[in-house]
Amino acid sequence: MHISLLFLGASTALAATCPTCRVLPGDGAWPSPSRWQHLNSTVRGRLLATNPLAHSCHDPTYNSEICRSLQQQWGRPELQIPYPSEFLSPWFQNQSCVPFTAESSACELGNYAVYSINVTGPDDVVAGLTFAQQNNVRLVIKNTGHDQNGKGTGKGALSLWMHNLKDKTFIHAYESSYYRGPAVKLGAGVQGQEAAAFAHENGYRAVVGSCPTVGVVGGYTQGGGHSSLSGLYGLGADNVLEWEVITAAGHHVIATPQQHKDLYWALSGGGPGTYGVVLSMTTRVFADTATGAASYSFDMASTNGSADAYWNAVSTFHAYMPLLLDQGVYATYAVTNISFIVLAMIAPSHDQTELNTLMEPMLTALDRQNGLSTESLSVTTLGGSNTYDVLASHVWPVLQDASLVAVQGGRLITRANLNADLGGVMAAMRNITAGGTFYFACTGINTTTAAGVPPVADNAVLPAWRDTSVTCLVGTAWGWGQSWDPAPGWQAELLDRVLPTMEAVTPNSGAYLNEANFAQRDWQQQFYGRNYPRLVAIKKRYDPHDLFYAVSAVGSEAWATDSKGRLCRT
């Protein structure tokens, strides 16, 4: 008796210092209601228990009117973002509680966090970190829920919900040895559109994503962050002056190129949700100037039904695009088996007349080589007196309802890849899109143009980004309301056929970690490149007990989920 009690005591102590698995609701070690209540009082009543939005589509709380409205809006970021534990990835929603399954099927938490703290400042973060550590509960950090790789949510998790940290400060003259000039300080919850509008009100423009609702400070900038301004100012991560962070140990620090340098380096492109909880960032802003923009499209009908002629035209576009990119132009376009759409070419350092001139060789070649006249392409000019107006009038309205895909992967295509084997890249795209299941959503970008400003400091952005001409998402054409049954097959096809086909024609490249597949093979190399070992060392220094875990984040190979979805050390 005495011995077994001692033994029990020893193993419990051991479990507390080095637990093998995080706890799930229903486990004996799951914190009692009174412990959660105690956490709630520590955060002054700001603890929220998850009740998935789509519970209104399931018994016993079914409501036909609410359910119908949810069905209509599901997958629109605006619907889900205001709720603490909702997230946008169809794959990780995994049908556990969506508005499209039978009323009689139970609404289950699945990959939803169980509780969220509605964070207002450092104390709430520290309370959450301490509770998760002491109770061996999985911890996640969530901002908008845009991430498609299951990073901002987690089964059995306590979530730090950063969305309401909306402070914005304009700094006329930021002073440091590495930058002097205008800057903005943005709270963790500020979204792209809000940051752009704030910079604009102050006469400047800021590096934000093309989708208005994506957060700026969370996954976007910490993961790299490409923008219509990237041809001039690089990626989002290249512009950060300061990160305000709560570390795993609960320390409140400011990381800059001069203090907590290693943390600054890792947070600037080395992946979100990994090294600490960011409360705010300070970033450069730039004078806004006249901005040319245009859209056009063609399809297989424009090439009189000839698939070869259609793909020749797609190839012509890719042969000419780098010349535009080198002038700081950004291009966002979609390629399907039968249609090619340039949603927007944006020239933040050229007015409309200049952009028209820059586009001429490309349009002439499309006409001469492919029989596609400017009229048949429906070239539309979208320029304005500044970048903000162009985004607000022409880009955000198109992209804000961008539909999500069931499964997605991604690949960077370097300039060298295009130069060495444009034919191979085109053949791969044609092969992958054949039959219409998969399509590409691509962004043309040159982050190192001669006219561009260099990064604030060295950072952890995937080195392949510097050689990149195009970053492509490849996903399935799928919409909510359609059957989910094919999704696992698509995921397998993506890993076994689609991504290897792209990888074969894009040597020495990689994938953008924010726009990729959660199960990308060789992800350490593909997402982080030669930075990986240094990032692992920084992760160990700032988070020695692995409090922060996110799918495909640095160090995450130390964990795997068991058959119940419980996160366990490997």
Ligand X SMILES: *[C@@H]1O[C@H](CO)[C@@H](O)[C@H](O)[C@H]1NC(C)=O
Ligand Y SMILES: Cc1cc2nc3c(=O)[nH]c(=O)nc-3n(C[C@H](O)[C@H](O)[C@H](O)COP(=O)(O)OP(=O)(O)OC[C@H]3O[C@@H](n4cnc5c(N)ncnc54)[C@H](O)[C@@H]3O)c2cc1C
Of 52, 23, 252, which is closest to residue 139 (Cα–Cα)?
23
- Which of 52, 182, 187, 223 binds ligand Y (CB under 6 A)? It is 223
Number of residues that bind ligand Y (CB under 6 A): 35
- Residue 509 interacting with ligand Y (CB under 6 A): no
Smallest gap from Cβ 213 to ligand Y, in A, equals: 8
- Which of 55, 185, 226, 318 binds ligand Y (CB under 6 A)? It is 226
| Binds 226: which of ligand Y, ligand X, none (CB < 5-8 Å by kind) | ligand Y
- Residue 550 interacting with ligand Y (CB under 6 A): yes
Measured from the CB atom, the residue of 503 and 543 that comes closer to ligand X is: 503
Region near ligand Y per CB under 6 A, out of 144-152, 177-185, 461-469, 520-528: 144-152
- Residue 99 interacting with ligand Y (CB under 6 A): no
Smallest gap from Cβ 465 to ligand X, in A, equals: 9
| Partners of 441 in beta bridges | 334, 473
Measured from the CB atom, the residue of 150 and 300 that comes closer to ligand Y is: 150
CB 550 within 8 A of CB 274: yes
Smallest gap from Cβ 504 to ligand Y, in A, equals: 25
Phi, psi of 141 (to 5 degrees): -120, 130
Tell me if residue 342 falls in helix, strand or coil: strand
Measured from the CB atom, the residue of 293 and 429 that comes closer to ligand X is: 429
CB 192 within 8 A of CB 215: yes
Rg (CA), the chain: 24
Q: Mark residues 70-89: x for contact with ligand Y by CB under 6 A, - for none.
A: ------------------x-
- Residue 143 interacting with ligand Y (CB under 6 A): yes
| Partners of 299 in beta bridges | 339
DSSP letter string over 235-281?
Answer: -GGGGEEEEEEE-TT--EEEE-SSSSHHHHHHHTTS-SSSS-EEEEE
- Which of 47, 141, 487, 511 binds ligand Y (CB under 6 A)? It is 141
Which residues, 6+ apart, have CB-to-CB distance to 435 below 8 Å? 337
Q: Which residues bind ligand X (CB under 6 A)?
A: 40, 45, 47-49, 84, 91-92, 94, 111, 118, 120, 164, 303-304, 307, 309, 322, 326, 337-338, 370-372, 415, 431, 434-436, 446, 448-450, 467-469
Which residues, 6+ apart, have CB-to-CB distance to 127 below 8 Å? 39, 42, 43, 117
**Crossing angle for the helix pair 307-325 and 352-370, to the nearest 10 degrees:** 150
CB 230 within 8 A of CB 207: yes
Smallest gap from Cβ 271 to ligand Y, in A, equals: 8
Prior bond of 257 cis (ω within 30°): no
| Binds 282: which of ligand Y, ligand X, none (CB < 5-8 Å by kind) | none
Q: Rule CB under 6 A: which of 163-202 touch ligand Y?
A: 188
CA 498 vs CA 167, 430, 492: distances in Å: 42, 11, 9
Helices and strands (H and E) in the chain: how many:
19, 20
- Residue 420 interacting with ligand Y (CB under 6 A): no
Which residues, 6+ apart, have CB-to-CB distance to 419 below 8 Å? none
Residue nearest to ligand Y (CB): 219
- Distance, in Å, from the CA atom of 87 to the CA atom of 345, rounded to the nearest integer, reads 30
| Binds 444: which of ligand X, ligand Y, none (CB < 5-8 Å by kind) | none
Smallest gap from Cβ 431 to ligand X, in A, equals: 4
Measured from the CB atom, the residue of 310 and 330 that comes closer to ligand Y is: 330
Measured from the CB atom, the residue of 264 and 518 that comes closer to ligand X is: 518
Interface positions with ligand Y (CB under 6 A): 88, 140-148, 151-152, 162, 188, 209-211, 214-215, 217-220, 222-223, 225-226, 272-273, 277-278, 402, 514-515, 550
